[in-house]
Amino acid sequence: MSSSSSAPSVLFVCLGNICRSPLAEAALRAQAQRAGLAVTVDSAGTGHWHVGEPPDPRAQDTALRHGVDISGYRARQVGGDDFHRFSHIFALDHDNLKNLRRLRPDNAAAELALLLDCVPELQGQAVADPYYGGEEGFERSWHQVERAAQALVERLRT
């Protein structure tokens, strides 16, 4: 895969890669499939603590409630090579965007942006970290990433 190939490729990045970015990955995969859009989708974390682990059980339950099984996903840490492998990299919040800007190689072609900036009414907002809260936070995250996935499908199909 290369960022110059014609099919877009999207990487979602949060902190642990066990809550928000797997939900974003699931939402875009599902919507792209429904829309018949060819896109490579993946997710990663800026942190290393959960590498190799499946998504948080609350994230798995939330995705399943919305029709997507994410039990097979495994957390990984983002690296500099991701800026060459993906055409678009979206951070789920501002801290992760800041860390990704530091990690970005000078010659990287990938677009790097805050995820909710692709939804006009949600511009500048973060997908809040649901890790330390209850199930309702995961549901809120799902609705946010669903709106972003919708906007991305519209954008990438044109």
Catalytic site residue 14?
yes
For ligand 4NP, how many residues bind (rule: CB under 6 A)? 11
Asked if residues 25 and 72 have their Cβ atoms less than 8 Å apart, the reply is: no
Which amino acid is residue 4, in one-letter code?
Answer: S
Asked if residues 93 and 57 have their Cβ atoms less than 8 Å apart, the reply is: no
Catalytic site residue 19?
no
Instruction: With residue 81 as reference, give the H or E element that holds it.
Output: none
Site string (42-61) toward ligand 4NP, x via CB under 6 A: ---x---x------------
Site string (129-148) toward ligand 4NP, x via CB under 6 A: x-x-----------------
| Dist. CA 7–CA 13, nearest whole Å | 20
For residue 19, state whether it binds ligand 4NP (rule: CB under 6 A).
Answer: yes
**Residues lying near ligand 4NP in the complex (CB under 6 A):** 14-20, 45, 49, 129, 131
